Amino acid sequence: MFLCLVFRGWGVWLSVLIKENVTKTYKKSNDELVRELDGQSTRIAERVKLDDRIEKLAMKKAFITLKDHKPNFSDHPTCRLINPSKSEIGAISKHILDDINTCIITSTRINQWKNTASILKWFNSLENKSSLSFICFDICEFYPSITENLLSKVLDFATDYRRITNHEREIILHAKRSMLFSDNCPWEKKAANNQFDVTMGSFDGAETCELVGCYLLSLLTKKYGHNIGLYRDDGLAAFNVRPREMDLLLNKRTATWNLFVLYNKKHTTSAFYFKIFLSYSKPGLCPLWQKRKKAI
């Protein structure tokens, strides 16, 4: 009886969190818009001769993941809203964006990292590490902050490095038109036109963030040099400046990035000297262990 009450209370609490996160960003929509999106997806699929493989928008319920590593989680729980309902046109958009990103990175030599190995390669290539100061920064709410106007501007920027046809642009923008489903009802983003929404879990969400990241890096490298890079919404930069200059740099930061950790040479000399790379765990995160051999 007690366990039933505990699970029931847990379920109610999760339902409240889901509703709060949905209503914070989304407003109720209607089934007519869902049919309109499916119709546009069908026309695009027919044009690329994939209409026998592309399915209509699946009405999967939205869910959340808990950010239990955040401070004061027990008093103010924070969540990440996941929309599993995604347009399959995004799979086509993913390939186009991959090619665009590759062309930009190859031409500009910016540090748009894709994995740990690429970050370590950049780090090992730095000279006089003991005299450098490192800044780790985070782009707040990267996915939700990408608007249709921003993406259009970034695509215009990308045309300097690769030709983008009107049809490819249409596919990329249409893949961002999505609906969220909760409580047996479709929802659309409040502050967006044409149901534009870059959602976590979409086919081309990561590639879209990389493209916008390329644009941001093009701006940042002009001002701060090439020793700066991004992996999705996380960034790392190295500066050979005095402490006073570093303070001025931090005080002049813009809304584009939110700096939250500063590593100086006192904290990192031993790691630089021995070239030791250790796996990172967020403060307060305790590992869970499980036996290799499960009981039969």
C-alpha pair distances (Å), 103 with each of 66, 99, 100, 106, 142: 36, 6, 5, 5, 22
Evaluate if residue 270 carries a pLDDT over 50. no
Evaluate if residue 76 carries a pLDDT over 80. no
Note whether residue 37 is domain-resident: yes
Evaluate if residue 4 carries a pLDDT over 70. no
Q: Give tens-digit pLDDT for 153-197.
A: 999 999 999 999 999 999 999 998 888 898 889 988 887 777 888
Note whether residue 14 is domain-resident: no
Beta carbons within 10 angstroms of residue 120's beta carbon: 13
How many domains is the chain partitioned into structurally? 1
Note whether residue 87 is domain-resident: yes
Task: Identify the three-state secondary structure at position 75.
Answer: coil
Note whether residue 35 is domain-resident: yes
More confident residue, 294 or 224: 224
Query: Residue 214's pLDDT is what?
Result: 94
Note whether residue 58 is domain-resident: yes
- Give the contacts of 133 (CB within 8 A, at least 6 positions apart): 238, 239, 240, 241, 243, 246, 262, 263, 264, 265
Note whether residue 233 is domain-resident: yes
Note whether residue 215 is domain-resident: yes
Strand 234-239, strand 133-138: pairing:
antiparallel
- Give the contacts of 58 (CB within 8 A, at least 6 positions apart): 84, 85, 86
Q: Give tens-digit pLDDT for 94-114.
A: 999 999 999 999 999 999 998
Domain residue limits at 211: 22-274
Note whether residue 117 is domain-resident: yes
